[in-house]
Amino acid sequence: MANTVIGNTIVIDGEITGEEDLTIRGTIKGRIALSASLYVENSGTIEADIETENVDISGSVTGNISASDKVELKSDGRMVGDIKAPRILIADGAVFKGNVDMDR
Amino acid sequence: MDNDMTVIGDSVTIRGNLSGEEDLHVLGRVEGSVDLDSTLVVAESGIIKAEVSVKNAIISGVVVGNVHASESIELTREGRMVGDISSPRVIIVDGASFRGNVDMGDIENMPERPPARERPAPRPRPVVKKDEPAPEPEADEPEVEAPDLEEAEDVTEEVAVPKKKTVTRPAAKAKAKAKEKPAKKKPSFLEPPKAKGLPKKKKRVVVKRK
């Protein structure tokens, strides 16, 4: 299975669904629904509601996240929105504003 | 991950508008519109149901929708397309499936240009008669002898001269003539050029760099 990478000059305005890992270096607006892991890299900008298994954020996310396993906000990650996941990790240096719900 | 292009894996579906300035490799599904300033490659597993506007397009999967390629579009053997093509260069390979319109722009004023993949036409070389090789090495002699004298002093000229030096030797002259004749009879573009053999090593002033 190819690893899906959205490069940093790509802008997607719409909905992404899939069953494999997704690495985002570009801009996504809309909705993301994956049954695998989502990696938002430094240059990635997401303005979307996210529903996945895992999320790793090193970029900028504006939107609600609903993860079935874990959400990780790395030290250069920025997030505005609600997080709903059983496991949450916010590293020192991350910027976050929103609600956190760890109950399922 | 050192990818210079965007890859959309085979289980990913994108519904919406996609735009960008880098190459896009689609192995999954894209619905909506694709607007790139570079190359779109649709792999065999790729399905695109969108209006496509790119620079180059190489389609080996399924495309349903109009494609506008400002440079070229290629439908490979596994490619299937339904929709209109608008591009100055269109390549449809044997085995591809296509249904739609093709518009290459203003055909009347299309500039002459050689097809990219074809090799340049071989230049026909004149068949050399037996008389001709004789004057040639003789004409070379006076030109070559002058640098010979300067050989010891000037290192740089040795690099340019070696080939001519083998011809000046009396023993080598006969060999050169004999070799030249059979080589020139056959049109050179049909056979790979015969190796002339390694030039004999001369005394070289080797400057070792410390």
Q: What are the extents of the domains in chain B?
A: 6-103, 124-210
Please list every residue in chain A whose beta carbon sits closer than 8 Å to the beta carbon of residue B6: 5-7, 10, 26
Mean pLDDT over residues B104-125, rounded? Answer: 70
Residues B4-7: contacts with CB under 8 Å, at least 24 apart:
B4/A7, B5/A7, B6/A5, B6/A6, B6/A7, B6/A10, B6/A26, B7/A2, B7/A3, B7/A4, B7/A5
pLDDT at A45: 95
| Cβ pair B17:A12 closer than 8 A | yes
Which pLDDT does position A2 carry in this prediction? 52
Give the separation between CA A50 and CA A16, rounded to whole angstroms. Answer: 10
B121-151 burial code (b ≥16 CB/10 A, e <16):
eeeeeeeeeeeebeeebeeeeeebeeeeeeb
Task: Specify the DSSP class assigned to residue A58.
Answer: S
Q: Inter-axis angle of helices B135-149 and B170-185, to 10 degrees?
A: 140
In this complex, do A15 and B1 lie within 8 Å of one another by their Cβ atoms? no
Best mutation target among A4, A20, A28, A37 (most B Cβ atoms within 10 Å) is A4
**Residues B91-104 pLDDT 10s:** 999 999 999 999 98
* B119: number of Cβ within 10 Å: 7
Query: Which tens digit of pLDDT belongs to each residue from B10-48?
Result: 999 999 999 999 999 999 999 999 999 999 999 999 999
CB contact under 8 A, A4 and B28: yes
Tens digits of per-residue pLDDT, B118-169?
556 666 666 666 554 444 444 444 444 444 444 444 444 444 444 444 444 5
> What is this structure's pTM?
0.63
The angle subtended at Cα A70 by Cα A86 and Cα B16, nearest 5°, is: 115
Least confident of A88-92, B59-63, B111-115: B111-115
- Answer left, alpha or beta for residue B105, where phi above 0 means left and psi between -120 and 50 means alpha: left
Alpha-carbon gap, residue A19 to B12, rounded angstroms: 7
Provide the ipTM.
0.82
Residue B203 has a pLDDT of 72
* A98, β-bridge pairs: none
Helix/strand/coil percentages in chain A, nearest 5: 0, 60, 40
Q: B40 phi and psi, to 5 degrees?
A: -110, 125
Q: Which CB contacts under 8 angstroms, 24+ apart, belong to B58-66?
A: B59/B96, B61/B26, B66/B100
Q: What is the pLDDT of residues A43-81, one digit of tens each?
A: 999 999 999 999 999 999 999 999 999 999 999 999 999
Residues of A in CB contact (< 8 Å) with B are: 1-20, 22-23, 26, 30
> Chain A partners of B1 at a C-beta cutoff of 8 Å?
3, 5, 23
pLDDT of B207:
77
Contact B18 A15 (CB under 8 A): no
Per-chain mean pLDDT for chain B: 74
Query: Is residue B16 less than 8 Å (CB to CB) from chain A?
Result: yes
